[in-house]
Structure 1
Amino acid sequence: MRKRIAVIGGGIAGLAAAVRLRDRLPAGAEITVYEQGDALGGKLRTGDLGGLAVERGAESFLNSGADGAESAAVSLARRLGLGDALVHPARQPAALAIGGRLTPIPAGTLVGVPGDLSTLDGVALPDAGADTDDGRPLLAPGADVAVGALVRSRYGAEVVDRLVDPMLGGVYAGRADQLSLRVTMPQLALAAETEHTLRDAVRAAQARSRRVPGQPVFAAVDGGMSRLVSAAASASGARINLGLPVRELTRTPAGWHLVLGPAPYPQTADVDAVVLAVPAKPAARLLAGAAPETAHEVADLTYASVALAGLALPPGTSLPELSGFLVPPGEGTLVKAATFFTRKWPHLDRPSGPVIVRASLGRAGEEERLQLDDAALLARAHRELSELAGVDLPAPAASWVQRWGGALPQYAPGHADRIVRARAALPPGLALAGAAFDGVGIPVCVASGERAADEVSKYLEEA
Structure 2
Amino acid sequence: MRAGARIAVIGGGITGLAAAVRLRDRAPAGTEITVYERSGALGGKLSTGTLAGSMVELGAESFLLRDPSGADSAAVELARRAGLGDELVHPTVGRAALAIGGDLRPIPPGTLVGVPGDLAAVSAVARPDAAADRDSGGPLLAPDADVAVGALVRRRLGDEVADRLVDPMLGGVYAGRADELSLAATMPALARTARTEHTLVAAVRAAQAAAPRRPGAPVFATVAGGLGRLVAAAATASGATVRLGSTVRELHRTAAGWRLVLGPVPEPELAQADAVVLALPARPAARLLTGIDRSVAERVGRLDYASVALVTLALPAPALPALSGFLVPAEAGSLVKAATFVTTKWGHLARPDGVALVRASLGRHGEQERLHRSDAELAALAHRELGELTGAPLPAPIDRHVQRWGGALPQYPPGHLAEVSAVRAALRAAHPTLVVAGAGYDGVGIPACVRSGETGAEEVLKALEASA
- Post-superposition shift, 1:391? 2.3
The range that moved more, 343-352 or 205-214, is 205-214
Q: Which of the numbers 435, 441, 452 marks the counterpart of 1:448?
A: 452
Distance 2:262 2:439 in 1: 23
Q: Deviations over 1:308-365 (max 9, x none)?
A: 0011111x32101111100000000010000000000011113325211000000001
What SS does structure 2 have at the residue aligned with 1:357? strand
Aligned residue type for 1:148: G
Aligned residue type for 1:422: V
Alignment-derived partner of residue 409 in structure 1: 410
What SS does structure 1 have at the residue aligned with 2:291? helix
Alignment-derived partner of residue 42 in structure 1: 44
Distance 1:13 1:220 in 2: 17
Distance 2:286 2:227 in 1: 29
Distance 1:353 1:455 in 2: 50
**Is contact 1:66–1:210 with CA below 8 Å preserved after alignment?**
no
Instruction: Write out aligned runs for 1:275-354 (5 A).
Output: 275-314=277-316, 316-354=317-355
**Is contact 1:276–1:283 with CA below 8 Å preserved after alignment?**
yes
What SS does structure 2 have at the residue aligned with 1:289? coil
What SS does structure 2 have at the residue aligned with 1:53? strand
What SS does structure 1 have at the residue aligned with 2:55? strand
**Is contact 2:111–2:117 with CA below 8 Å preserved after alignment?**
yes
- Post-superposition shift, 1:224? 0.6
What SS does structure 2 have at the residue aligned with 1:134? coil
**Is contact 1:64–1:211 with CA below 8 Å preserved after alignment?**
no
What SS does structure 2 have at the residue aligned with 1:151? helix
Alignment-derived partner of residue 181 in structure 2: 179
Q: Deviations over 1:81-114 (max 9, x none)?
A: 0011100001341110011111111110000000
- Post-superposition shift, 1:263? 1.5
Q: Which of the numbers 6, 22, 25 marks the counterpart of 2:24?
A: 22
- Post-superposition shift, 1:376? 0.7
Q: Deviations over 1:39-67 (max 9, x none)?
A: 11111001101211111100000001121
The range that moved more, 84-93 or 217-226, is 84-93
Distance 2:194 2:209 in 1: 13
- Post-superposition shift, 1:462? 2.6
- Post-superposition shift, 1:180? 0.4
- Post-superposition shift, 1:250? 1.0
Distance 1:362 1:17 in 2: 31
**Is contact 1:67–1:210 with CA below 8 Å preserved after alignment?**
no
What SS does structure 1 have at the residue aligned with 2:457? helix
Query: Root-mean-square deviation (CA), in Å?
Result: 1.0
Instruction: Write out aligned runs for 1:400-439 (5 A).
Output: 400-426=401-427, 427-439=431-443
Aligned residue type for 1:421: A
**Is contact 1:293–1:425 with CA below 8 Å preserved after alignment?**
no
Q: TM-score, normalised by structure 1?
A: 0.98
Aligned residue type for 1:214: G
Aligned residue type for 1:68: G
Distance 2:212 2:151 in 1: 28
Instruction: Write out aligned runs for 1:76-115 (5 A).
Output: 76-115=78-117
Aligned residue type for 1:340: F
Count of aligned residue pairs for this structure pair: 462
What SS does structure 2 have at the residue aligned with 1:386? helix
- Post-superposition shift, 1:296? 2.6
Distance 1:51 1:67 in 2: 40
Q: Deviations over 1:223-253 (max 9, x none)?
A: 1111000111111111111121111111111
Distance 2:400 2:264 in 1: 35
Aligned residue type for 1:383: R
**Is contact 1:61–1:73 with CA below 8 Å preserved after alignment?**
yes
- Post-superposition shift, 1:460? 1.9
* Corresponding position: 1:163 with 2:169: no
Distance 2:170 2:77 in 1: 26
Alignment-derived partner of residue 52 in structure 1: 54
- Post-superposition shift, 1:172? 0.2
The share of aligned pairs that are identical, in percent, is 68
Alignment-derived partner of residue 128 in structure 1: 130
* Corresponding position: 1:71 with 2:73: yes
Given the superposition, is the C-alpha separation of residues 211 and 255 from structure 1 closer, same or farther in structure 2, using an over 3 Å criterion? farther
- Post-superposition shift, 1:159? 0.7
Distance 2:66 2:462 in 1: 27
Alignment-derived partner of residue 254 in structure 1: 256
Aligned residue type for 1:373: S
Unaligned segments of structure 1, at least 5 residues: none
* Corresponding position: 1:458 with 2:462: yes
- Post-superposition shift, 1:279? 0.7
**Is contact 2:93–2:323 with CA below 8 Å preserved after alignment?**
no
Alignment-derived partner of residue 380 in structure 1: 381
- Post-superposition shift, 1:370? 0.5
Q: Deviations over 1:98-142 (max 9, x none)?
A: 111111111100000001111122211221111011101000012
**Is contact 2:181–2:413 with CA below 8 Å preserved after alignment?**
yes
Q: Which of the numbers 147, 150, 169 marks the counterpart of 2:149?
A: 147
**Is contact 2:88–2:221 with CA below 8 Å preserved after alignment?**
yes
Aligned residue type for 2:159: A
Aligned residue type for 1:311: L
**Is contact 2:93–2:322 with CA below 8 Å preserved after alignment?**
no
Aligned residue type for 2:451: A
- Post-superposition shift, 1:213? 3.5
**Is contact 1:33–1:238 with CA below 8 Å preserved after alignment?**
yes
Distance 2:221 2:292 in 1: 39
Aligned residue type for 1:200: A
Distance 2:400 2:421 in 1: 43
**Is contact 1:65–1:211 with CA below 8 Å preserved after alignment?**
no
**Is contact 1:66–1:211 with CA below 8 Å preserved after alignment?**
no
Aligned residue type for 1:153: R
Distance 1:215 1:22 in 2: 33
